[in-house]
Amino acid sequence: MTDKPLLFTPGPLSTSKATKSAMLRDWGSRDTEFIALTREISLTLEKIAGVEQGAPSHNCVLIQGSGTFVVEATIDTLIPRDANILVLVNGAYGRRMAKICQIHERSYITLETDEDTPPTANQVTQLLKKDKSITHVLAVHCETTSGILNPISEIASAVAKAGRFLIIDAMSSFGALPLRVSNIKCAAIVASSNKCLEGVPGVGFAIVDKTILSNSEKNASSLSLDLFDQWQNFENTGQWRFTPPTHVLAALRQALIEHDADGGVEGRGYRYLENCETLIQGMKTLGFKPYLRNELQAPIIVTFHQPRIKNFNFAEFYSRLLERGFMIYPGKITKVDSFRIGCIGQIQKFDMKNLVEAVAGVVAEMGVKLK
Ligand SMILES: Cc1ncc(COP(=O)(O)O)c(C=O)c1O
């Protein structure tokens, strides 16, 4: 088992040895031990989402696949065919939710802001006031395209005040940034195993309001992505409808134990914040410019402008860093050339310092003069 390369990516990301090792046994998917494992994971995820145990307002529904699978399943299951949707877009993942609405023939409009600009609660309030036909709002918490933090708590209050339903894509924030259904009113929060929870990829989950879920039978236009059916099967049998990603779940259980040991959401968020600050400080010292203003930056992933100077070539920069054991990530914003460096996963402050040192070495080798 090797630690190289170390991933500075938004997931899949670097995982601990114990999480990888948890995959070294086989599980029978219909066996009681695996049924208990599934239940334990669901309850732990509910706890992280602030669901009160005893009389839970929300239930965790696990589903096979990457993050997009659970986003699609949630939209298609929870939103009736005659609904009208407002999608908040300031990056690729908001845009993807709009595409899901389009494919599943749900009527929608978008509120689009620039990739470096969060939507405001006031904009949402005004729009919902103007268009009474809107029933549902879809929002991304941390838009991983740029790394921007959207004001989800304020947006949730605006949507709740207007009496509409909110679905939150918290893919890249769940487990590291506070998001509790006890104080953020929402129909659902969706996320996956392989981001801030530091599991391996292969399973997503939605923390869904139980009343809304109970009323969502026959909304879905897909069999495998029908979250209602998936939920019913878990409720009735404790089992997965179709082959579960057994090893992924075993790894996730270990990752959740480590999440707790890290100090839960608060502890993990703090480590990522330290990583993020160390990275930005170090890269600024070298002459790199972050894309976002500091107050908009989530401690998840940082977008940097590609230097527009002679000798800088991203492909070469990337491969030279990889040769040194550091894997960074290409840019995704649409208007400027950029690259991204993730702050999440099994990486510590000293790894960020080592990465910045490696960047300094690579830049010198390439003959790039940043200052
Ligand atoms: C905010 C957000 N939503 C959705 C997704 C889609 O997840 P996946 O690529 O696992 O399908 C991602 C992936 O990075 C994401 O960051």
* pLDDT value, residue 21: 98
Domains in the chain (CATH in brackets) are 6-10+264-366 (3.90.1150.10), 17-261 (3.40.640.10)
* CA-145 nearest atom, ligand 1: 16
* CA-10 nearest atom, ligand 1: 14
Q: Is the pTM of this model over 0.95?
A: yes
* CA-69 nearest atom, ligand 1: 11
* CA-143 nearest atom, ligand 1: 1
Rounded to the nearest angstrom, the distance between the alpha carbon of 202 and the centre of ligand 1 is: 12
Rounded to the nearest angstrom, the distance between the alpha carbon of 54 and the centre of ligand 1 is: 31
Choice from 66, 141, 171, 195 to test ligand 1 binding pocket (greatest atom count within 8 A of CB): 171
Rounded to the nearest angstrom, the distance between the alpha carbon of 286 and the centre of ligand 1 is: 30
Structure tokens that stand for 2 in this block = 């090797």
Q: Which residues line ligand 1 (CB under 6 A)?
A: 10, 66-68, 71, 93, 140, 144, 169, 171-172, 192
Rounded to the nearest angstrom, the distance between the alpha carbon of 278 and the centre of ligand 1 is: 25
* Residues in the chain where the model's pLDDT stays below 50: none
Q: Do residues 203 and 172 lie in contact, with contact meaning Cβ atoms separated by under 8 Å?
A: no
301-349 per-position pLDDT tens digit? 999 999 998 889 999 999 999 999 999 999 999 999 999 999 999 999 9
151-160 per-position pLDDT tens digit? 999 999 999 9
Question: Which of 235, 231, 193, 237 minimizes the C-alpha distance to 212?
Answer: 231
* pLDDT value, residue 2: 72
Structure tokens that stand for 12 in this block = 């899949």
* pLDDT value, residue 371: 82
Residues 6+ apart with CB under 8 A from 85: 79, 101, 106, 107, 108, 109, 134, 135, 136, 137, 138
Rounded to the nearest angstrom, the distance between the alpha carbon of 31 and the centre of ligand 1 is: 31
- Per-residue CA distances from 132 to 83, 123, 128, 136, 138 (Å): 11, 14, 6, 11, 16
